[in-house]
Amino acid sequence: MTDEHSGERIASRDHPVSPDGPRKPALIIFDVNETLSDMSPMARRFEDVGAPAHLASSWFAGLLRDGFALTVVSASDSFARLAQDSLRISLHGQKLDRDADAAVQHIMGGFTALLVHPDVPDGVRALTALGIRLVTLSNGSAAIAEGLLDRASIRGHFEELLSVEDAGAWKPAGRAYAHALVRRDVDPMDAMLVAVHPWDIDGAARAGLGTAWINRNGEPYPGYFRSPDIMATSLTDLADQLHRWTRPTSGGGDGSDQFSDAIRL
């Protein structure tokens, strides 16, 4: 069965990640914001315009909430538009040192200066050395991911930088992951989603992908979400764990034509 938006086939909710147990993925799909990028400097951007630093985290959480809400009702809008409009709401009533439009522009400009977490460059290189293909799939724009990876000198390790804007639905909707699988011609059981967000892990697991949760802060994993296949403290830790996994001698990797038990989301 195909997805209404794009004709892409996706795994069913009861499709096992792998019928023969855990195995090294052929393709890793990376989340970008907070998983690869260190977004802590965004708090300073709020302070720069006269707003409190703590607004950064509540603004970003609200931005994600609204993107998810639109996806639930089969609507979609760009990350940039939602980010800017929600910023104006978050900054309303604050004693800013410039007009609202200039404040929004300054804060949004922070995305173009973010750096990756310290573990990312070595982790990405280690995963590539294992023969695993890498792509990104972000609720944000591919251009932001491009700049981030260029600044870290690791862009060449990624086959493609994907955005949900081309899927018509934000993660964790199933067709967002299906978009990445079809683009790279990989069966869900041969792919793994890597993210710091439990909601992203849960969505990918329900779409039939393997999952790895990067827990840099030692936080507990929510029991109401599907558990990740791997819990790692960094990308280098993830590479070390995957090094002990093996690939099956056959099966998978043939793209949308071999997706079994597909469902419509």
pLDDT per position as a tens digit, 136-191: 999 999 999 999 999 999 999 999 999 999 999 999 999 999 999 999 999 999 99
Reported as a single tens digit per residue, the pLDDT across 214-240 is 999 999 999 999 999 999 999 999 999
Burial of 14 (0-12, 13-18, 19+ CB in 10 A): exposed
Backbone angles phi, psi at 6, to 5 degrees: -130, -5
8 A C-beta contact, residue 167 and residue 176: yes
Collect all residues with Cβ–Cβ distance below 8 Å to 61 and sequence separation of at least 6: none
Share of the chain above pLDDT 70, in %: 84
The Cα 61–Cα 65 span in angstroms is: 6
Q: Report the DSSP pairing between strands 37-38 and 115-116.
A: antiparallel
115-129 mean pLDDT: 98
Please report the pLDDT score of residue 66 as a whole number.
96
Q: Could you give the angle at which helices 100-108 and 79-91 cross, rounded to 10 degrees?
A: 130
The Cα 214–Cα 208 span in angstroms is: 19
Please report the pLDDT score of residue 247 as a whole number.
63
Query: Does residue 258 carry a pLDDT above 80?
Result: no
Which residue type occupies 202?
Answer: D
pTM for this model (two decimals): 0.86
| Rounded (5°) CA angle 57-68-94 | 35
Please report the pLDDT score of residue 245 as a whole number.
82
232-253 mean pLDDT: 79
Query: Does residue 4 carry a pLDDT above 50?
Result: no
Please report the pLDDT score of residue 3 as a whole number.
41
Confidence of residue 244 (pLDDT cuts 50, 70, 90): confident
DSSP at 35: T
Strand partners, 160: 135
Share of the chain above pLDDT 90, in %: 82
8 A C-beta contact, residue 36 and residue 161: no
